[in-house]
Chains A and B, each alone.
Chain A
Amino acid sequence: MMPLRAAAPLALQAAALAVALALPAFVGANSYALFVATQLGIYTIAAIGLNLLSGYAGQVSLGHAAFVAIGAYSVALLTVDHHWSFWAAAAVGMGLAAGLGVLAALPAFRLNTWYFAFITLAFALVFEKMIVEWRWLTKGFAGVVGVPPPSAFGYEFGPRPLYYTVVLVTIVAFVIVRNIIDSRFGRIFVAVRDVEPAALAVGASPQRTKLVAFVISAALAGIAGAFFAVQKTVVTPDDFTADFSIFFLLTIVLGGLGTLWGPIIGALVFFLIPELLTGMESWRMFIYGVILLGLMLFAPHGLYGALRQAWRRLTPPTPRAPAEVAQRTEHPPIAGLSLEISGLSKRFGGVLALDGVEFSAPAGSCCAIVGPNGSGKTTLLNLASGYYKPDAGSVKIGGIETLGSSAQKIAARGVGRTFQTPRLIAGLTALDNVVLGAFMRERASLLSIALRLPYARQEARRLREEALGFLHFVGVADRAETEAGETPHGQQRLIEIARAMMGGTRLILLDEPAAGLSMVELERLELLIRRICNLGATIVIVEHHLDLVANIASYVVVLDHGTALAAGKPASVFNDARVMRAYMGERALQAAAPA
């Protein structure tokens, strides 16, 4: 017996599907209801795409109408002027829209989210006008008239077959997007959106990620546009205004941005409200604005989020199935990478953070970098892992120069790291966060994931088991199914380490891992680091906890004001007078005179 909490939503979804499929049987072929239902389906297809782009990948786009327009005009012009079949024309439209999606993605690489949103808005306005300007192609204001319906096997599609086709495409789009969201692509979308350093740390390129999101959403919009053209039979520039684009985004927000069902609910509400508001139609936009305002204040995840929350409050929580207890699998030895830094310098504006630092961690060793606040420790780590570009010096990982490489390329080489504040994806479970670590290792293609082919499913299962094993290894297996944002700080740290290991990391950079840990957690951390070191990985740890450093590090470098004060075994370094002066000040040094 399925628990109530999960059963009812599934029942609702099944009911919705049944209604959608049964509708034509109850209404006339030429009825208004069928017409609106078809429009709703078309709208939903494009909305699903925009939701993927703006909701999951975080690229807020206020110009999505352009992609729909390309699909619509392609079909209209090819079928009317050149007598192509609908299917071929739709494929062309989809391809062209995807092409524009590639172009649209390029500014997203450079601009931050809000500048990009503004650029998309400006683009929408220009696009409106350019459709008219290129009247030799688009027939200008008059638009394209008389688009014929699709036909197959010599049989022309009436309103009913068209409706069924649209419903089918909607369902397919929904399932494909759902599969993509559930995979490494979905995870990396969210990572790029919320915690870009985490994406870089697992070796993903934010640019490629954004590109994929744009292309998929543009292609979906293109298909929607194709159906738009045949249903309306007249395509004019007035159909694709900037207002429409903005409005389109707002309806998805209304439904629930970044949720699977949000676009469907949003589209439903958008189409049903005018019907329910007869008599008050002129107030429609005003009511819309008020609803949106209210929703964002009280239910930021839109109607879907509000419904889900209400449902969760009303139903008893499902007892969490205990994570399958895997036996303590033996982790294979790791071939550690060496890290050699020489002459490294970095300036931030007027501040010289690092000044010609030398540091060397042989393969398989555990080394530490210590120093007072502001000495440049984290900067050193960030330079080594490629998050910043140094002004001078060299960084060799495993003997290969990495200067100038991007963070994600360095990560792909086998370098894992944790951050001063844990960079996890708060909305995903601990297990999913760890699976993210294997991003570079996953082989299933986008297509096999979209279609949920057996290879993709098997790989996903294997990776989950492996991730669980790593969670065991770091000691957080009991939290596998908890949202990472809800786990305590100390455990988030451990999850980050598990994610790094999942990536097959051979050189681990830990940035103040002991910060904020309790005594018990500190002990566990020390044990964990020792075990990782024993497996053969190289560990470089930036820390303040000198006890921890003394216990696990075989080599310590002390930084102060960007230069190395002392280096060597922990015992000798910590008794060095210069080190003590830097840490505790002159007076304390005098006070502690006998060393």
Chain B
Amino acid sequence: MDFDVVAHGIVAGSLYALVAVSFNILYRPTNVFNFAQGELVMLGAMIFASITSLAGMPWFVAFAATLIAVGLIGLVEERVAVAPILARSQTGTGWVITTLAVSLIISNLVGRVWGPDPILVKPPQPLSMETLDLGPSHLSSYEIALVLVTIVLVAIVESAYRTLKGKAVMAVAEDREAALLRGIDPGSLGRWSFFLGAAFAAMTGILAAPILYASTALGPDLLLKGFAAAAVGSIGNNRGALIAGYIIGITEAVGASLLSPGYQEAVIFIVVLTVLLVRPQGLFGSPNARTV
């Protein structure tokens, strides 16, 4: 077993974990799985790629600008496609269709702005995609940085939920009306979480671009694997998302070295399905005790 294979699996897994975390951020106060998430990641990558090649803006400026731009798009999505559904009923499920519709709209609009070709995105100085010879594995400085940054980001997000604002979010997730009665505004929290979740997704796209190339086809694959990582790691649990991301990334990498493409997909699917059947609440969640 090549350590190199596992190393690449961890790199890919970090990306899936980041997508899963962005899912979780959106999910917490709204209980909505955003089917347009993959498109938001893609938008982050594409907008960033275009800005850096257009004006040659420094990396960090472009980074911030992209995050804000996509965050706003997420906000628009919340206002138009999610809030009205939630307002009708807490347990409404129309958001599946509306977020799917948003993903349709976005993916068709981007086809008009950008062609199908990938745009090269270079990592920020001093990192690069040049691979370093680290004994048994070949990773670039950028890939190593990516794995570390992911862990740091997950830690930051987790600690954010320990603050009062973070607890408020979890309260809304538990019971929207009760939280309202305690003076917490679920509407504003919902808006913020979509803004931040979309910005986080954009960031994931930017981080993924040097490795996966910024192209309009980036969305669907990341959507599915990110969702898988979120589900296996228990929706809402970011540490779980990180570990689940690694599991999926490594499974994929190992499968690639051993199996033909159809079976590769099947193996990932079987792993995810098995985990969910054995523990329907994910690896790290607690089952819902009271239902009646």
Contact = CB atoms under 8 A, between A and B. Distances in A.
Interface of A: 60, 107, 110-115, 117-119, 121-123, 125-126, 129-130, 132-134, 197, 246, 250, 253, 283, 285-286, 288-290, 292-293, 296-297, 300, 348-349, 382, 387-388, 419
Given A113-B93, A133-B261, A122 B266 contact: no
Given A113-B93, A122-B224, A130 B262 contact: yes
B277 A110 contact: yes
Interface string B74-92: 0000001100110010000
B228 interface: yes
A133 B263 contact: yes
17 contacts: A114-B96, A117-B96, A118-B33, A122-B269, A122-B272, A122-B273, A123-B269, A125-B265, A133-B260, A133-B261, A286-B109, A290-B101, A292-B101, A293-B101, A296-B97, A296-B101, A297-B85
A412 to B, nearest CB: 18
Contacts of A115: 231, 276, 280
A283 B224 CA distance: 26
Given A253-B97, A296-B98, A119 B261 contact: no
Interface residues of B, number: 41
Interface in B266-292: 266, 269, 272-273, 276-277, 280, 286, 289-292
Contacts of A118: 33, 227-228, 231
B251 to A, nearest CB: 13
Given A289-B101, A297-B81, A297-B84, 7 more contacts: A118-B227, A122-B224, A123-B269, A285-B104, A296-B81, A349-B286, A419-B292
A285 B108 contact: yes
B110 to A, nearest CB: 11
A134 B104 CA distance: 31
B219 to A, nearest CB: 12
Given A118-B231, A119-B273, A289 B96 contact: no
3 closest pairs, A vs B, by CB?
A133-B262, A289-B104, A289-B105
A348 B84 contact: no
A330 B119 CA distance: 81
B224 A121 contact: yes
Interface of A, secondary structure class, is helix
Given A115-B280, A419-B292, A289 B261 contact: no
B94 interface: yes
Given A117-B96, A289-B104, A382-B292, A111 B276 contact: yes
Nearest to B273: A119
B68 interface: no
Given A107-B277, A111-B280, A297-B85, A290 B97 contact: no
A383 to B, nearest CB: 11
A293 B98 contact: yes
A293 B260 contact: no
Interface of B: 33, 80-81, 84-85, 88, 93-94, 96-98, 100-105, 107-109, 224, 227-228, 231, 260-263, 265-266, 269, 272-273, 276-277, 280, 286, 289-292
Nearest to A122: B269
A292 B277 contact: no
Contacts of B227: 118
B105 A296 contact: no
Contacts of A114: 33, 93, 96
A296 B224 contact: no
A125 B224 contact: yes
A107 B224 CA distance: 18
Given A122-B228, A288-B104, A293-B81, A197 B292 contact: yes
Contact of B262 (A112, A132, A246): A132
A129 B100 contact: no
A134 B262 CA distance: 9
B273 A107 contact: yes
B92 to A, nearest CB: 8
B275 to A, nearest CB: 11
A348 B289 contact: yes
Contacts of A382: 292
A209 B146 CA distance: 47
A111 B96 CA distance: 17
Contacts of B265: 125-126, 129-130
Contacts of B94: 296, 300
B228 A293 contact: no
A114, A197, A253 pick with most chain B CB within 10 angstroms: A114
B261 A129 contact: yes
A126 B269 contact: yes
Given A110-B277, A349-B289, A250 B108 contact: no
Contacts of A119: 272-273, 276
Contact of B290 (A246, A289, A348): A348
A132 B103 CA distance: 27
Given A125-B224, A289-B108, A297 B98 contact: yes
Nearest to B227: A118
A198 to B, nearest CB: 11
A130 B103 CA distance: 26
Contacts of A125: 224, 265, 269
Contacts of A296: 81, 85, 94, 97-98, 101
A135 to B, nearest CB: 9
Given A110-B277, A119-B273, A250 B100 contact: yes
Nearest to A133: B262
